[in-house]
Amino acid sequence: MTVLSDRPAASRQQNGMGRMDGTDGMDRAQERPRWGDLVTAVRDVGQYPTAAEAERVIRIVLSALGGHVIGDERVDLARALPEEAARVVASQIPVTRPLTAAEFVDAVAARIQGATPATARWDVSSVLSVLPSLVGDDLVDRTLLQLPHGYALLFGRAELAPAG
**What percent of the chain is modeled with pLDDT above 90?**
76
Q: Could you write out the DSSP letters of every residue in 30-48? A: TTEE-HHHHHHHHHHHHT-
Residue 97 per-residue DSSP state: S
Query: What are the chain's domains?
Result: 24-154 (1.10.490.110)
pLDDT value, residue 151: 96
Whether the predicted pLDDT of 7 surpasses 50: no
Residue 119 CA to residue 123 CA, distance in Å, equals 6
Q: What is the pTM of this model?
A: 0.80
pLDDT confidence band for 35 (50 / 70 / 90): very high
Averaged pLDDT for residues 125-138: 96
Whether the predicted pLDDT of 1 surpasses 60: no
pLDDT confidence band for 160 (50 / 70 / 90): low
Distances in Å between the Cα of 10 and the Cα atoms of 4, 16, 22, 31, 155 are: 14, 11, 11, 20, 24
Residue 156 CA to residue 64 CA, distance in Å, equals 17
